[in-house]
Amino acid sequence: MNFFKKSVPQDPAAEVDFDHLPRHIAIIMDGNGRWAKKRGLPRTAGHAAGAETFRTIATYCKDIGLDYLTVYAFSTENWKRPQDEVGAIMGLLKKYLLEAISRMERDRVKMEFFGDLSPLPQELQDLCQRTREISKGYDGCQVNICLNYGGRDELVRAAQAFAARCAAGEARPEELTEERFSQYLFSAGVPDPDLVIRPSGELRLSNFLPWQSAYAEFYFTDVLWPDFSKEELHRAIAAYQRRSRRFGGI
Ligand code: IPE
Ligand code: IPE
Ligand code: MG
């Protein structure tokens, strides 16, 4: 007889309907710095731990059959940070991509990048390009890494690209629809996120996918990204599945 049974917390996986997962989950991977600070470690140690969590969560999303995972790794605003922190983040990204490339045949995860990659170190740009090229034919889970991504920057670029086509006489302003505009975004061809998760206790989007998340469901948790686990992901998905999405209808 198990006298402790009642005190065992219920596994949140039990509440997830794995046959009806959201198609696209987007995550703002926040809280690395505070995680490190709490342990008396440099912020860069938090980023290293966060990269580990990303590996675990991305692999798990692939294993459960999620179609799309989009993660916010570095924003257009993150350049304001001290140079050594930015450099450490770039180094971790490089390490991650090298490993991802070595596992590609086995994992068959399609990888894409949202953001203007041109200000990134050349070596990192080349790795992004290689990752994209190798995985472009894969049709399992697609992981989109937002790198030097900013939602406003994305919208301005899209507006410029469409305006340029108009100026060249290839399009007319009145032909622009929401669907067509979406094709000018970094996320062209990717369905909008159904669920946006932000760990770390902050209740804001910080310039993440403002167009694409217009009708997303949001899940906020105080857990810091390096501590984010499969269980926390289950909680988020279960919360999503309990909601009623009406898209303006009744
Ligand atoms: C997120 O963690 C990682 C990046 C923004 C690159 P932070 O570094 O923002 O962690 P906190 O918010 O300071 O705890
Ligand atoms: C958002 O987190 C960017 C990423 C997680 C990559 P920030 O830590 O940069 O956001 P703010 O500054 O708290 O809004
Ligand atoms: Mg932060």
pLDDT bracket for residue 39 (50, 70, 90): very high
| Domains along the chain with CATH numbers | 21-150+193-241 (3.40.1180.10)
Q: What percent of the chain has pLDDT over 90?
A: 93
For the record, the structure tokens of 205 come out as: 């989007």
Mean pLDDT of 125-154: 97
**Residue to probe by mutation, ligand 1, list 41, 200, 205, most atoms within 8 Å of CB:** 200
- Return d(Cα 196, Cα 189) in angstroms, integer: 18
- Residues recorded for the chain: 250
Query: What is the distance between the alpha carbons of residues 181 and 177, in angstroms, rounded to a whole number?
Result: 6
**What confidence score (pLDDT) does residue 21 get?**
98
Q: Please return the burial class of 27, using the count of CB atoms within 10 Å of its CB with bins 0-12, 13-18 and 19+.
A: buried
Q: What is the pLDDT of residues 70-114, one digit of tens each?
A: 999 999 999 999 999 999 999 999 999 999 999 998 999 999 999
Ligand 2 centroid distance, CA of 206 (Å): 6
pTM for this structure? 0.96
Q: What is the mean pLDDT of the chain?
A: 96
The average pLDDT across 169-197 equals: 98
Ligand 2 nearest atom to the CA of residue 204, by list position: 14
pLDDT of 178: 98
pLDDT tens readout for residues 41-78: 999 999 999 999 999 999 999 999 999 999 999 999 99
Q: Which residues contact 133 (CB under 8 A, 6 or more apart)?
A: none
